Amino acid sequence: MSASSARVLFPSFFTFACFAVFLWPLVQTIYLTTDVNFRYWVGYWMLICLALPVLYLATYVMHLVRTRPSRSLILASFIASSCLFIVLGVALLLYSSGLGDQLLSTDCATWKRTRPLEQTYQDARELYACCLSEHGDNSLSQYCPAPATATATSPTANGTSSSNGRQDILVTECDRYEDLYNDHKGDLAYLAYLETSYYCSGFCTVAERPLFTRTLQGNDACAEAVASVIRSKVDFHAVQMISYGGITLVLFLAWLGFTNKTLRFLSRDQSPLY
């Protein structure tokens, strides 16, 4: 292959190589952000890696404009990508490890990251306890400071709601639940998800009675379930990112050493590439 043909093909080849090498960690990161637990505790800051495809496309355009390989763009594309995944993996591992320790700690209810959710649970439990007391169920009466502040409702024949005296009601059927939900929508939705998905109850400690399901199907606090998911799923992904970024960086530097003369010739630059 002539030098001119190589210069023409290089932009497409290099861009394809970038996407092929880093597509897997990109897809894995996007998949991880679809997990409910990950979104609640970690958020979306890991999606900063979506800037990498923009870098690859910009590199492709610059190579077309220059009509020859650019060593700075080559280094930026591979080294920046590898280092970014290493940094993200380390940050995620440190964050998830600390979070897991706090979730399992006896001080779970006092930590800054876990206290808001525990407080929301306690507010919902108080509302539920008063709701049960109103209907003759005193199983949680110790959590109701002012009995008869909430009532349970059920649909009537004409579609309206009325009190029916049931004792198997859920917190979502209490009159004041809508107000509480409007104030803590994300937290309550997450607590409901934990109870129904992991068969746990309470949050930092096991509850006497679940809020969102009619029967207690497990003996674990929801914080323990979350810690298990964080350590098994998030930690594993973080270690993969660190390992993949490190291996990719080493292999790229090795490739750069073998192809240094060829790239210098194609770029018509006699200075070393690194």
Could you report the per-residue pLDDT of 263-272, keeping only the tens digit for each? 565 555 444 4
Rounded to an integer, what is the distance from CA 17 to the centroid of its chain? 28
* Same domain, residue pair 87 and 141: no
* Same domain, residue pair 96 and 185: no
Which has the closest alpha carbon to 83: 28, 22, 42? 22
CA pair distance 95, 71, nearest whole angstrom: 35
Q: CB–CB of 201/148 below 8 Å?
A: no
Q: How confident is the model over 41-62, as pLDDT tens digits?
A: 999 999 999 999 999 999 999 8
Flag whether 14 is in a domain.
yes
Within 8 A by CB and 6+ apart from 15, the residues are: 56, 57, 59, 60, 63
* Same domain, residue pair 144 and 214: yes
User: Whose structure tokens read 């190579």?
Assistant: 63
CA pair distance 254, 120, nearest whole angstrom: 53
Q: What is the pLDDT of residue 64?
A: 84
Flag whether 25 is in a domain.
yes
- Rounded to 10 degrees, what is the CA torsion of 157, 161, 164, 170? 120
Instruction: Please give the structure tokens belonging to residue 69.
Output: 């390989």
Buried b (16+ CB within 10 A) or exposed e, 93-111: bebbeebbebbbeeebbeb
Rounded average pLDDT over 67-82: 83
Q: What is the pLDDT of residue 146?
A: 67
* Same domain, residue pair 140 and 66: no
* Same domain, residue pair 158 and 145: yes
Considering only residues 1 and 167, tell me which one the structure prediction assigns the higher pLDDT: 167
Flag whether 239 is in a domain.
yes
CA pair distance 233, 154, nearest whole angstrom: 40
Range of the domain at 175: 115-227
Q: How confident is the model over 119-137, as pLDDT tens digits?
A: 999 999 999 999 888 878 8
Flag whether 259 is in a domain.
yes
Q: What is the pLDDT of residue 14?
A: 86
236 pLDDT more than 70: yes
Element (H, E) at 154: strand 154-155
Q: What is the pLDDT of residue 263?
A: 57
* Same domain, residue pair 218 and 235: no
* Same domain, residue pair 171 and 76: no
CA pair distance 86, 47, nearest whole angstrom: 14
Q: What is the pLDDT of residue 271?
A: 42
Q: What is the pLDDT of residue 186?
A: 93
Which has the closest alpha carbon to 88: 252, 226, 240? 240
Total of domains in the chain: 2
Flag whether 12 is in a domain.
yes
* Same domain, residue pair 56 and 189: no
Q: What is the pLDDT of residue 121?
A: 95
* Same domain, residue pair 206 and 256: no
8-state DSSP, 174: B
Flag whether 274 is in a domain.
no
Flag whether 178 is in a domain.
yes
Q: What is the pLDDT of residue 227?
A: 93
Average pLDDT, the chain: 83
Q: CB–CB of 255/273 below 8 Å?
A: no
Flag whether 272 is in a domain.
no
* Same domain, residue pair 65 and 201: no
Q: Measured over all CA atoms, what is the biggest interatomic distance in the chain, rounded to whole angstroms?
A: 89
185 pLDDT more than 60: yes
Backbone angles phi, psi at 151, to 5 degrees: -130, 155
How many residues belong to the chain? 274
User: Whose structure tokens read 């594309």?
Assistant: 77
Rounded to an integer, what is the distance from CA 111 to the centroid of its chain? 20
Q: What is the pLDDT of residue 160?
A: 36
* Same domain, residue pair 83 and 95: yes
* Same domain, residue pair 86 and 162: no
Q: How confident is the model at residue 74 (pLDDT cuts 50, 70, 90)?
A: confident
66 pLDDT more than 80: no
CA distance from start to end of the chain: 25
Q: What is the pLDDT of residue 265?
A: 52
